[in-house]
Amino acid sequence: MSGSQTQTGESKPAQNKLWGGRFTGGLDPLMEAYNESLSLDKAFYAEDIDGSIAWARANKNAGILTEEEFKQIERGFGAVRKEWETDSFEIKPGVDEDIHTANERRLGEIIGPAIAGKLHTGRSRNDQIATDLRLWVRRKLLEIEGHLTSLLKVIVSRAENDIDLLLPGYTHLQRAQPVRWSHWLLSYGSCFARDFRGLKYVIEELNYSPLGSGALSGNVFDIDRRAIAQELGFKDLCLNSMDAVSDRDFLLKTMGWGSDFMMHVSRIAQDLCIYSSQEFGFVKLADAYSTGSSLMPQKKNPDALELLRGKSGTMHGLHSGFRVALNSLPSCYNKDMQE
């Protein structure tokens, strides 16, 4: 027995890991902590359950599961979902490596391992996480679309109500020509309208289903991938299984869109910081979104606007970092994608 095996003990990953079949020794606790992703991907619990139910239904239709077995899986996942929703799901460190293993482990406890164990037939965590990500990002982008719609409505409404207000227009940050406040406001409305159109494109581009691609070479059990895609609200399929499990372009497009959007947010925040200063005095910031100074009581600081500028820089950095992480990866799935 090697020294590393001696340190980690006699536990076999096969007892509690989806991937443990060929291993004879347990993981070092440090590797357990380093390798886990549940602390982050538990955010996908609902998407993971939705995908698993759709997968179970496809396996039932292909004759792999009986009708009763499918009903048990669907019922069990209903219970698992409720536990997540009520914050009563008990995470088991060292066992629940990620959201997939956590949900399947708990399903087995509820309905028994004999039926729950059939769920993973023909499925890999590679196509599973690719599916969860697309579903989760789509849901979040649709929420952002609603907020962006509200922002555009507020901009148009304020532009209409304040049509008679004038202020200096600037080029090179030097006074140039008089303009309407509404004109300035709608200049950013035009930016956010472009962002709205771009967001629609990003949502359209990610709405393809990778489920059924397996680890990299597809599925041999004659499941109906199009039925799965339809159940999950995808418009079509990812056609190449090797690309499907490794494609994170939709995340790059999402982050690229977010970077563009936050650039516009940062610019309007910068204008408002300047316009609200005593030297300009064009706008007055609400107390609810400002702070003061512990030393200089006369000051009102535009902290909310400054934080928006700062978060814009964070978004640009995350986008660049993710692109670098993907840049030199070989084909198909690699664990770098978890990072």
Specify whether 293 is catalytic: yes
Structure tokens at 101: 């293993």
Query: Could you count the other beta carbons within 10 Å of the beta carbon of residue 291?
Result: 13
HSE-CB of 319 using CA atoms within 13 angstroms? 19
Catalytic residue among 172, 217, 259, 316: 172
Catalytic residue among 157, 277, 293, 331: 293
Distance of alpha carbon 203 from the chain centroid: 12
Q: Residue with structure tokens 């139910």?
A: 53
HSE-CB of 73 using CA atoms within 13 angstroms? 28
Q: How far apart are CA 44 and CA 129, in angstroms?
A: 9
What type of residue sits at position 79? A
- According to DSSP, residue 293 is labeled -
Specify whether 172 is catalytic: yes
DSSP for 248-277, written as a single string: -HHHHHHHHHHHHHHHHHHHHHHHHHHHTS
Residues acting as catalytic residues? 172, 293
